Amino acid sequence: MTQTLTAEAAELAGMSRAVPKARGSRLSLAVADCRVLVGRDLRHLVRNPEQLIQAFSLPVILLLLFRYLLGGAIETGGQSYINYVIGGLFVISVAFNSTTTVVGVTDDLGSGLVERFRSMPMLVPAVLIGHVISAVLRSFLSIAVMIGVGLAIGFRPHASVTGWLGALAMLLLFVTTLSWLA
């Protein structure tokens, strides 16, 4: 059941016919707003080569650099160097990806997009939530690529499933915190 503007309100607004209002609960509308903005940010990632390089190529280059150029420079106490260094590279990769969030929010504010969204019936923090969720997705895709390359060059994790879930939860918390701060 859709609700429409009254004929008088539509006439005052200069509309020739009634405009339907959005349907659904507040929660479903808020989720839809955030989903649209996450999709927008992910499309920007795909269409911007600089963001693609920063999200995927830079972490892989750092991984290869630390593995093959600096591979024997640090005594790791018995474990392989790649197993030792890859955790720190995950954190560095996530920190690099948070700069994309800063640039995206700044561009949205500078271009007037946020002011246009304020005139629409949408969730007020949806722009920020969209940027944060897309930053988390971007970071986890970057980490997945790093794990794949790491496995190809000798990374052999010895953690259990519980250990991996704990590590991913800590990375999720770190990514979310950095993105909100950004």
In the block, which residue shows the tokens 């479903």?
A: 28
Tens-digit pLDDT profile for residues 118-136: 888 888 788 888 888 988 9
Task: Give residue 87's pLDDT.
Answer: 86
Q: How far apart are CA 107 and CA 82, in angstroms?
A: 37
Kindly tell me if the per-residue pLDDT of 168 is higher than 80. yes
The answer to whether residues 84 and 74 touch, using CB atoms and an 8 Å cutoff, is yes
Contacts of 14 (CB under 8 A, 6+ apart): none
Tens-digit pLDDT profile for residues 12-66: 444 444 444 556 788 888 888 889 889 888 888 888 888 888 788 888 998 898 8
Q: What are phi and psi of 44, to 5 degrees?
A: -60, -40
The answer to whether residues 153 and 82 touch, using CB atoms and an 8 Å cutoff, is yes
Q: How far apart are CA 7 and CA 174, in angstroms?
A: 52
Tens-digit pLDDT profile for residues 63-111: 898 888 877 677 777 778 888 888 888 888 888 888 888 888 888 888 8
The amino acid at residue 106 is: T
Task: Give residue 162's pLDDT.
Answer: 94
